[in-house]
Amino acid sequence: MELEKISSRIKIFLEKTGVVHLQIFDDMASHRNFRLNSGYRAIAHKKLADSRPIRTVSLLLLMAFLISSVLNGLAWAAHFRAQGKGYTSRSWRESQIMQKVKDMPPGIYIYSNMPDAIIVLTGRFACGLPQKLDPITLKHNSNLTAQLALIREGARGHKTLLVWVRLSAMRWYLPSEMDLSKALALTLIENAPEESIYEITGSD
């Protein structure tokens, strides 16, 4: 019984280290009088010695990866602490266009390709734009022209603005700035490198 326990422990050890193929022990364990003779010990030691350089290199690579990950994490943490993240980033906090939107008198209709940014940064409500195509199916919106015409018509009786954010490349499925300029008869009010404010005049 004690011999079987020793054999089992050796098998578990070599299974973890990958030194000897497990089939050897599966075959040997079936014999109650099995003894690990000098021949098997020599094979085991040789395979263990051969595997040490590989394991050392693997360990060093793993340590280098872990250290690199930690350093990168610390760098990102420092960056976000200084610059912020998402709508708390420095570029959003210091946006002059968003500040102008915030300071506008109440009662103005606002459309935008990033209405969520306006709501979060200014506290004002903004409507989104109709999609040019479905981002999932890539099917074109056959009602786009009619939907933009409704926006334009509504602007004839009420002051309506379009806040266009040029940092919204992920919203590629919306009409472009040029598309809207033609469809909504836009008049530029405020311009900045990253955002612009247009008035939708509604005129033909």
For the stretch 78-126, pLDDT in tens is: 544 555 556 777 778 788 999 999 999 999 999 999 999 999 999 999 9
Pairing of strands 186-191, 195-200: antiparallel
Q: Distance between CA atoms of 81 and 73, rounded to whole angstroms?
A: 12
- Residue 175's contacts (CB-CB under 8 Å, 6 or more residues apart) are 129, 130, 132, 144, 148, 183
Range of the domain at 69: 2-82
Predicted TM-score (pTM) above 0.75:
no
Residues 120 and 65 both lie in one domain: no
For the stretch 17-37, pLDDT in tens is: 444 444 444 444 444 444 444
Q: Which residue has the higher pLDDT, 87 or 158?
A: 158
Residues 71 and 101 both lie in one domain: no
Identify the domain boundary among 82, 114, 129.
82
Identify the domain boundary among 66, 82, 98.
82
Distance of CA 32 to the CA centre of its chain: 58
Q: Distance between CA atoms of 68 and 35, rounded to whole angstroms?
A: 47
Provide DSSP, 74-89: HHHHHHHHHH-SGGGS
- Residue 150's contacts (CB-CB under 8 Å, 6 or more residues apart) are none
Residues 133 and 74 both lie in one domain: no
Residues 106 and 36 both lie in one domain: no
Q: How many domains does the chain have?
A: 2
Residues 12 and 99 both lie in one domain: no
Residues 94 and 190 both lie in one domain: yes
Residues 37 and 128 both lie in one domain: no
Residues 94 and 41 both lie in one domain: no
